[in-house]
Amino acid sequence: MGRPKLTTIFTSNNHQTLPTSDPTRQSLVENKPDTSKDGFPYSVFGFLRRLMSGNKIDGGSRTEAEEKVYSWLYALAQSDKDLVFEYVRSTERGLSFTEAERRLRENGPNVPFDYSFPSWWHLLWNAFFHPFNIILIVLSVLSYITSDNPNGCIMLVLVFLSVSLRFYQEYSSSKAAMRLSELVRCPVKVQRCAGRVVQTELIVQIDQRDIVPGDIVIFEPGDLFPGDVRLLSSKHLVVSQSSLTGESMTTEKTADIKEDQSTPILDLRNICFMGTNVVSGSGTGLVVSTGSKTYMSTMFSAIGKKKPPDDFENGVRRISYVLIAVMLVVVTIIVLTDYFTSYDLSESILFGISVASALTPQMLPLIVNTSLAKGALAMARDRCIVKSITAIRDMGSMDILCIDKTGTLTMNRAIMVDHLDSLGLAKEKVLQFAFLNSYFKTDQKYPLDDAILAYVYTNGFRFQPSKWKKRDEIPFDFIRRRVSVILETESHAEDRNHQFLDRFMVTKGALEEVMKVCSFIEHIDSGAISTLSPEDYQRILSMAEAISNEGLRTIAVAIKRLKLQNSNGSVANDEAFELDMVFLGLITFYDPPKDSAKQALWLLAEKGVKAKVLTGDSLSLAIKVCKEVGIKTTHVITGPELELLNQDSFHQTVKRATVLARLTPTQKLRVVLSLQTVGKHVVGFLGDGINDSLALDAANVGISVDSGVSVAKDLADIILLEKDLNVLVAGVEQGRLTFGNTMKYLKMSVIANIGSVLSLLIATLVLKDEPLTPKQLLTQNFLYSVGQIAIPWDKMEEDYVKTPQRWSKKGLPMFILWNAPVCTLCDVATLVFLCIYYKAGSLVDSKFFHSAWFVEGLLMQTLIIHLLRTEKIPFIQEVASLPVICSTVVISAIGIAITFTPIGEVLGFVYLPLSYFGFLVVLFLGYFSIGQLVKRLYIFIYKRWL
């Protein structure tokens, strides 16, 4: 087998189908064809299916595909080798070249992952196909038909800006799983048989894409398993499964064992999984699953298919359909009323188009994308890259953050804690020989060596390594899991004619492996050395277990004195010298939590974001870290324990648990899905490993770090340039600010537009004439829309950003029903005042009425933001940001001044008397008073405002 340059072998080219002629195989593994397509017809039908479908994946149980893969692998792990050959229809000699080619044609290439990525035109269509964009395009076409070219041009420009921003954002993040599609091509050593009469066994190298079930593969250190493999033979085989588990610890595998159903799947010692690699040792194995039938494929087949729906987008679509229905009814009535009054069909249609345009929140897509882009820039200043800008809004709604312990809560580096003898007492001699081992070893220095050296230097120990000389070394390997150095120093001898040397072998490594070569134990206080008894052995193991339960890592130290008189004597580099050693003690290490982690988690909790730790590490270590950073550990559970729960118990346990340890990637996915679908939470997930990719892809907000693996960064929505949770605190605040300003515009715009259109309808029915001409109405709408561009730069109240903010299905309709009539009431008051005081209802005074109605309507729509943007009394208890204030002043001034300019004459306006502006002052004081009263009643009933 060859050695790949990358650590992953994910691809997305063809869907694998395994042989199905064997009845046993057929009953255990079955493939369902992938019916997903990429294209416009399929996207539309898929959208309709998703819209009408009520089926949800809640994470409480495995999928059907997962169950089949699990059953297949457990059946093989519990079977004898002969039966395994029967299952895959192979022989001990391997497959013939003819049979292998047939299976390759039948199954297709050995690729584990099948996922089609959207094309650029598909993304462009999704960006274009938005209800408000369609409304604006229809209105633009109608405007061009009725020769209202300026209005049509303005609406097309708005559509172009909205679609361009959305397409750019989606296209930039569409590569979210592209690296999973890159197959690492490497040769694999395979045993095949050749010959028609007398078959001979041949060892050949083939590309791993050509591996088929039934092949016998030969592997050595550094090789990557090309499929799920049942071991046939093994010699000191050690495998790294970090690509599946995220744990750096290695796993011993052996062929001569039969497993049982109670063993967790990743702990099966006679099964090696696709995507894992050989650290040391060698062996042979029978390929039992390839392509989409592997364990890894069941994990990553979920990529891109579990993303929860965006409540905000769904809500916007629903309200857009409501506006379309209102538009059709109101515009039809207005057109018919105007036509039967003026008998001018083209003018009536043009006025109807203008009313429809006024009812449409034309700036919504632009405001939304501007708010998100502003949030992305703000997070960039905090050293945070936002790949999917909609994730900023989701961060404002996030109420649960799932985090991986390693490198997120902790510093991801070892710090030495103590040096203990066999009785658990701190002894300097243990530290001295551990230091000498780390100081003189020339093999690769590991983080634990650096931690020992740093501890000695910073604590003032003087072990004088210059008085020691290194003579030999037995380097570390993953079979022995220890390293030995042979050192010598001058002994205290009175005979000056001869140079006597003390020679020591100093060994350091995993406790179990060091104790295997120890026959004695030193009692350091007395200096006595005694035989290592079973009681001593058990006492040391119990002490190490207690230390491990405290979240500390241990290594053992042992020595062996080799007293040689000849200074030129040499010791061979042979493991046989690692015998009859003297056990000295233990060195303990700790991966400390970050100083900023506790403060950041406290700030997140203060803002309503609960933290859950989802890690592949041991439970004891996770609990220790969580206690130090302030995460409650009253409810904890491990992955193997989760596997034993039924669906309801699973959901209840996930809901309560704050620490979930020893989780596999699929279990992390199931936890995230359970929180989303059953718990109704908006979930963020912070991870940086391949084993986190499923959860990253499924979470509402996927967060990774710059030092994470490429797959995790590609699937993440947000990438942190520093592993600092405080950046997330700022992101949550920015998300809530973005969400608040977006909702502010949406509610204000819909209320103002609906109130205005209802007022136009009432005025049309009363006056039997147009309250405004089409040009005046479009000018009013244009000025109002331009004035709202400043909303993304508004601020939010402190109480608003303290709690997660989510789209409420009933919130917007009720908000409209309460507040829109207030706008209409003020417009009707203006209508009554103009008709009674100025007697402006006649056709003779139509220009005066148009001018007065134009100014009042524009000021109403401009000032409404100040009433709706806060729970408090506007301009007294709460003042908007400077950009919003300036926008209000400028647009209001333009609206008033335009009636006195030549542009006003072109539009058909006349001068307004000063008394009318006095009326407007009284009107708006009344409007704000009534609006504030309605606001307090609404808050009293619904307990919230925006």
Helix (H) or strand (E) holding 218: strand 216-219
Q: What percent of the chain has pLDDT over 70?
A: 83
pLDDT digits (tens, 9 = 90+) for 860-882: 989 999 999 888 899 888 999 99
Mean pLDDT is lowest, of 169-173, 231-235, 554-558, 868-872, for 169-173
Residue pair 193/91 in contact by the 8 Å Cβ criterion: yes
Whether 748 has a pLDDT exceeding 60, the answer reads yes
Report DSSP letters for 295-338, one per residue. HHHHHHTTTTT-PPP-HHHHHHHHHHHHHHHHHHHHHHHHHHHH
pLDDT classification of 122: cutoffs 50, 70, 90: confident
Whole-number average pLDDT of the chain: 80
0.95 surpassed by pTM: no
Q: What pLDDT does 866 receive?
A: 92
Burial (CB < 10 A; 0-12, 13-18, 19+), residue 663, is: buried
Q: 657: pLDDT confidence band, cut at 50, 70 and 90? A: very high
Q: What is the identity of the amino acid at 187?
A: P
Q: Distance between CA 97 and CA 214 in Å, rounded?
A: 12
Whether the per-residue pLDDT at 741 is higher than 90: the answer is no
Whether 783 has a pLDDT exceeding 90, the answer reads no
Average pLDDT on 778-803 reads 85
Query: What is the pLDDT confidence band of residue 197, given thresholds at 50, 70 and 90?
Result: low
Sort 496 into a burial class: Cβ within 10 Å, 0-12 / 13-18 / 19+: exposed
Q: Evaluate if residue 497 carries a pLDDT over 90.
A: no
Give the mean model confidence (pLDDT) for residues 302-315: 65
Q: Are 406 and 625 in contact (CB under 8 A)?
A: no
Give the best-scoring range by mean pLDDT among 1-10, 450-459, 723-732: 450-459
How far, in Å, are 263, 357, 579, 923 from residue 831 at the CA level? 80, 22, 104, 12
Q: What's the pLDDT score for residue 50?
A: 39
pLDDT at 727: 83
pLDDT for res 143? 73
For residue 181, pLDDT over 50 is answered with: no
Quick check: 54 pLDDT over 50?
A: no
**Residue 404 appears among annotated catalytic residues:** yes
Catalytic residue, chosen from 114, 215, 228, 404, is 404
Residue 456: pLDDT band (50, 70, 90) is very high
pLDDT for res 165: 63
Look at 127-136, 161-170, 445-454, 856-865 and tell me which has the smallest mean pLDDT.
161-170
For position 522, what pLDDT does the model report? 92
Q: Using one digit for the tens of pLDDT, what is the confidence trace for 65-86?
A: 788 888 999 999 999 888 899 9
The residues facing 193 across adjacent strands are: 96, 201
- Cα distances from 737 to residues 730, 732, 805, in angstroms, run 11, 9, 10
Band of pLDDT at residue 666, cut at 50, 70 and 90: confident
Q: State the average pLDDT over residues 382-398.
A: 82
Q: What is the DSSP string of 476-545?
A: --TTT-EEEEEEEEE---S-TTS--EEEEEEEEE-HHHHHHTEEEEEETTTTEEEE--HHHHHHHHHHHH
Average pLDDT over residues 182-194: 73
The reported pLDDT for the residue numbered 262 is 83
Token readout for 847 is: 């220009």
Q: What are the tens digits of pLDDT across the range 531-584?
A: 999 999 999 999 998 898 787 889 999 999 886 644 444 444 455 678 899 999
The whole-angstrom separation of Cα 241 and Cα 279 is: 10
Is 491's pLDDT higher than 70?
no
pLDDT category of residue 458 using cuts at 50, 70 and 90 = very high
Run of H or E residues at 403: strand 400-403
Place of tokens 């048989």: 193
412 Cβ neighbours under 8 A, 6+ residues apart: 406, 591, 723
Q: What is the DSSP letter of 117?
A: P
Give residue 918's pLDDT.
92
Q: Residue 910 and residue 899: Cα distance in Å, rounded?
A: 6
How many CB atoms within 10 Å of residue 618? 18
> For 827-841, what is each residue's pLDDT tens digit?
999 988 988 888 765
Length of the chain: 946
Say if residue 658's pLDDT is above 90: yes
Q: What is the pLDDT of residue 183?
A: 36
pLDDT tens by residue, 606-643: 999 999 999 877 788 888 888 888 888 889 999 889 98
pLDDT tens-place string over residues 591-610: 888 878 888 899 999 999 99
Report the percentage of the chain scoring pLDDT > 90.
26
- Write the DSSP assignment of 759-808 as a string of letters: HHHHHHHHHSS-SS-HHHHHHHHHHHHHHGGGGGG----TTGGGS-----
